[in-house]
Structures are given as structure tokens and as C-alpha cells.
Amino acid sequence: MHSFPAPAMAMVETMRESASSDPARAIAYQGAPGANSHRAAMEACPECLPLPCFSFADALDAVKIGDAGCAIIPIENSQHGRVADIHFLLPESGLYIVGEYFMPIHHALMALGDGPFKVAYSHPQALGQSRNFLRERGIVPLSHADTAGAAAYVAELGDPDVASISPPVAAELYGLKIIENNVEDSPDNMTRFVILAREPVDPASLKGEDAITTFVFEVKNIPAALYKAMGGFATNGVNMTKLESYQKGASFSATTFYADIIGAPGDPAVDRALEELAFHSKELRILGTYRQARKRG
């Protein structure tokens, strides 16, 4: 499956046509109209033209080929951790992170019928954020490409015993009934989105502001390489707010790390820390320096 459900297609085509009229204003996002990423695009940039894309790769490609000025992509959730595949897609895309946006996430159980329901469709992130709710009611979670698309798919199926976990607005868009609101397991459920563009933000333009720098690196395959690579941040007083590892390739011998630090290149302490990191690394790539949307610490 690599297309939106029929109930979503008319809205998708209308939004694509609008975005094509002014690509510089277009923000590509993954999901059907009404998805959380659609809402994030409109909140982060109210004047934008949202461009729905079926997959994350499609959204990034839209920016690369000039169909959109930027893309907004969910990267991590407070309950369910990092969004699958994003750490692979971002470095490979050739795009740069130019901003971030934090958005509270609230899901609703919706359907054509009144229940009880056998299954509920949604994106794996939303299913994970609502796993206790689903387990307590004996509802089997089934994966779909996105949250709003799951609602459109339930409408297309026409089965009253099937539900979706979707943003509340999706019920209105696709003619479903909200059975229960706020089905996420934690009331402070929050997703961090990053905004990507073809050109990076000049770190010098952020002088005097709270900035985040995001990068990926692969340390040399020698004992204590990661310990030595991280030492430069400690000795230079640079705060690292995120460090995650993931395997690159099938050999399981090359671990790539994804990191966020507070600060920007051009700051002497950051430059010294990154220089020491580069010395102990086989590869280092900065994905972007951008303004903090939320104070760390």
C-alpha cells in the first residue's frame, strides 16, 4: 500500500494543487489530512501551504526536488521514544534541520459503530502511546501508515466493529464518531518535530540566542573511543541533551550515534568539543544548528 485511502484523496489532491502554486510556502508532512504532522505544520507556520505525503521519505523528497520549501517530521515522543526510521532518513536526505516544534498529542478512539471493537488501526507511535488503553479493552492494535489515514481507512472499510486511534479532527474529516477522547496513556504526551530545508541556518545568525546543534557520528573501532570522544564536551562545558545509538549496516560492528548539544559552531567551547569528537571519529556530520523551541534543563 502506497496511497491514501479513498476518503482522504480529494482533500489530498486539493492540498497538493494549492502547494504546487507556491512551493516556497509549502511544508511537506507525512500523513493524510488531519494527521498530527498536519496540525504541527499549521501551528509551527500558520501561513504555510501543507503538503500531505504518504511516507517520511516522500516528504523529504518533496523538499529535495523543490515541491516544498521545507518538511516537518516527528522525531521523538515523550512516551514512545524515537520515531522509527527517522535517524536513518535524516542523514541520508541531504537536508538540514532548521527548526524544532514541540506539540502536545491527544488521541481519540473513533469508529462508525458504537462498539465494542475488535481492532483499532493507527500509526505504531500512536498505538504505543495508547497501549494500556487498548489492552484494558481487549482491542487488538493494527498498524497503519499514519493516524489520520487510519481514520480514513476505517471509513473506507465501512465495518462498525473496527476503530482507529486518531486525532479528534479526523472524526469530523472522515465521518466517524468519537467514542472516547484522550486515550493516550499519559496526559503529558508530547512529540518533538524537526523542520528540514535544503539550506542550513548560519550559526552566526543565532549569536546570543539559545541554540541546538544536531549531528551524527561514528567513532573509530578502538577501545574507549566513545569515552574519549565524549570527553571534549565535558571538559569544555558543553551540555549534551541527547545521545542515541543505532546500527548502520548488517555487520553490527559499526554503531552510529545521533546527538543534540546546546550551543552552536562558532562558540569556542563548541568548536573545541567538536574538534575532539572529530579526532576520535571515523565520520562526523552536522545535521543543523537551530533555535531552541523549548528550554533544556
Given this model, what pLDDT does residue 251 score? 62
Given this model, what pLDDT does residue 97 score? 97
Asked whether residue 222 is domain-assigned, the answer is yes
Asked whether residue 297 is domain-assigned, the answer is no
186-218: pLDDT as tens digits: 988 899 999 999 999 999 999 999 999 999 999
22 and 90 assigned to the same domain: yes
DSSP bridge pairs for 196:
71, 97
How many structural domains are present in the chain? 3
Query: Any idea what the CATH number is for the domain that residue 116 is in?
Result: 3.40.190.10
257 and 280 assigned to the same domain: yes
For 138, phi then psi, to 5°, come to: 65, 30
Query: pTM of whole model > 0.85?
Result: yes
DSSP 98: E
14 and 100 assigned to the same domain: yes
Is it the case that residue 249 has pLDDT exceeding 70? no
Query: Any idea what the CATH number is for the domain that residue 280 is in?
Result: 3.30.70.260
148 and 125 assigned to the same domain: yes
Asked whether residue 234 is domain-assigned, the answer is yes
State the pLDDT confidence band at 1, using cuts at 50, 70 and 90. Answer: very low
DSSP 70: E
Assess contact for 31 and 148: CB atoms under 8 A: yes
96 and 156 assigned to the same domain: no
157 and 215 assigned to the same domain: no
Q: Return the axis-axis angle of helices 36-44 and 147-157, rounded to nearest 10°.
A: 140
217-242: pLDDT as tens digits: 998 888 888 999 999 999 999 999 99
Is it the case that residue 85 has pLDDT exceeding 90? no
Q: Which domain holds residue 32?
A: 7-104+190-197
The catalytic residues are 191, 193
Asked whether residue 1 is domain-assigned, the answer is no
Asked whether residue 63 is domain-assigned, the answer is yes
Q: Which of 148, 167, 197 is the last residue of a domain?
A: 197
Rounded Cα–Cα distance for residues 12 and 46 (Å): 18
Strand order in the sheet with 255-262: 240-247, 255-262, 211-219, 281-291
